[in-house]
Each structure stands twice: as structure tokens, then as C-alpha cells.
Amino acid sequence: MSNLSNIDFENLSRNDLISILECKKEDILKIMDLANSKRENTFVTYSKNVFIPITKICKNDCGYCAFKQSPDDPDATILLEKEEILATLKEAEKYGCKEALFTMGEDADEEPAVKIKLEKLGYENMPDYIYDICKMTVEETDLLPHTNAGNFSYEDMKKLKEYNISMGMMLENSSERLMNTIAHKKSPGKDPKIRLETIENAGKLNIAYTTGILIGIGETKEEIADSLLKIKELCDKYGHIQEVIIQNFTVSPGIEMESHEEPSLLDMVRTVAAAQLLFDEDVSVQVPPNLNYETSQIFLLCGTDDWGGVSPLSEDYVNPSSPWPTLERLEKLTNDAGYQLKERLAIYDKYINEKYIEKSYIN
């Protein structure tokens, strides 16, 4: 007998979500069809971006991280200077990129090597430096900044909003238990209370925001359901969450969790379908295509309507062993599934108004 018969799909509860996340083979196709039926149009969007890691120094040390570098590494990116960044942005303009995705390790300025270089450049902290980089981007290029750098204080986010068209940070998971596991035990910035506060502050400040969860890092189905519901709660309260990413853990050489098992395709299908069924139609559900190179079309059949940021110029520095698909491949995959590929900005259309965009963008 189907486990779906008692689910209220109009008002999903925690138990309903868990049932979806645990559904067996006879129900998986039904769940996919239900999720896909919420699709509002036949477009699948993407943002053409350039990915710029301002620093790869980070106070966190996640078990799955392939981004962080040690300041003692002779090849470490301690801090890119504005001239280097501007040169990359100008190159990105030639490729038609519209989004400047700025990433960095969390609270990198707590590391002396970063602090020293910041002071040499005339800055006291990373938020002030990021502000000037984003200001430079808006004033000297055609690209729009999107900063994804972990937790910020309310005051720092308020300042950064002036020159960020949107911002983001993955919740990853709302479970306190994971703070005692290999995934997050050495990562104080992954405390879910802190991350949820950051996401809420973005809502209070009317910042168009991207967040999501990471599956396959030792979480339970109950913890996935709780994480999605926490995001939904903030989304319903403030209306600022424009997209929810369902990201799968992938093994990279040299990480602490190198022998850890990756989530199965069906686990991803169940989770993506659950998210699509939970969130309103105007919240995009996204699955990174480079982390699912051979299986990404399956998620289009679960209702996903966005490929996320894809760069024709730079690599995915967070997942260096997973190259971006070309735009030609994305278009072929999209068309083959019966949809049309459509470029978007780093801010979704519904947020292009004075509530979410600062005057710095209005010419």
C-alpha cells in the first residue's frame, strides 16, 4: 500500500516530509510527477557568472571541504588585491557574464596572515574590503555582485547590501548534533543557530537571498526535514529567499571525509522532490549541475527550474574536481527534457524593485 495516501500535499508537515524522504520505489515516480506539476512555465534559468575567491583562508575546517587552504601553503590565496579582481571582472565582461560571485573563507580576517595583508591595503576587516570590491564592481564593470561568505553581522550585511544585488549562504543543516561529527566538529561557523540568524537578518534587511542544504554528510531524514522547514519558516516570514539549493556531498581527493559514502541518486531525487513540494512556486529549487554531471536531467523531472550560477571562465573553487558543464551542454540537456534554457540575473525578477535594490543600482 502506498505511503502517500495520508500526506497533505497542500500543507506538508514534518511527518509528511519524512514520508516523502523515505518513500519506496513504487512511490518515487508519483512524487516526482507531483513535484514537477508545480512548475509554472517551461523555462529553466541560469546565471552566467565569474567565480572569484577573494581569500581561501577560513576559520572553519569542515570534513568535506576542498576549498580551504592553510596560510602556510606557498600557493595559498591569502587575499586577492583589487587590481587582480578588476582584471578578472573585465575578462568576464568579454564572456558576457552578468554576475560577480564573490566567495571567501568565513571570518578569514581572524587569521594573522589575512589581517596583515588587509592592513597593508588600508582595511581593518574583511567586510570593509568586500564592500569596496563590490562598489568597484558596480562602478567600473557591467557585472552585479553576489557575495557568499558565510555568516555576517546584521550591521555588516546592512552595509554590504548597498553594492550587492543579492547574497547567499548555505544553511547546510539545522542539526546541532552534526556539530559533534566529522562534518562540522572543527567548524564553529556552521553552528545552525548562527547561520539561521544570518539568514533571518537578510530577511529583515530585504536582501534577495540564496540558501539551501547539503545532504550526505551524516544527517538523518528527520534532520533534512527539519532543515527544509527552518528555511521555509524564514521564507514565509520575510519573503526574501529566492532559491533553495539541494547540494549533494561529493568526494574530493584529500578531504577528511574522502572515504565517506556519497548520497545515492534516489536520495537526491526524494530530497529535491520534497523541497519542490514544500516551497511555493516562486521559490526556485536548484541542483548544482556540475555535481550531478550525468544525472542532472532527472532533477528537471522533479520540478527544478534553475541550474544556478554557471561560469564560462572560472572553475568552481568550492568543488574543484567538478567542472562546470558548458552552456551548450546545459542547453542540450534542458531542451532534451522538454524545456527552454533562459539566462537570468543574480537577482530574480520578482525582487527587482526598490524594496530589495539599493539606489546605487538605479541610474
Q: Which residue numbers belong to the known binding site?
A: 58, 62, 65
Extract long-range pairs of 115-122: CB within 8 Å, 24+ residues apart: 117/78, 117/79, 118/79, 121/79, 121/81, 121/82
Give the Cα separation of 68 and 55 in Å (integer). 9
Beta bridge pairs of residue 212: 245
Give the Cα separation of 9 and 11 in Å (integer). 5
Largest separation between any pair of C-alpha atoms in the chain: 68
Feature table: binding site for [4Fe-4S] cluster? 58, 62, 65
What is the Cα 28 distance to its own chain's centre? Answer: 26
Strands (E), 140-283: 144-148, 166-168, 209-215, 241-248
If one counts every other C-beta atom within 10 angstroms of the C-beta of residue 112, the result is 10
Distances, alpha carbon 292 to alpha carbons 65, 83, 117, 299, 349, in Å: 18, 35, 37, 9, 27
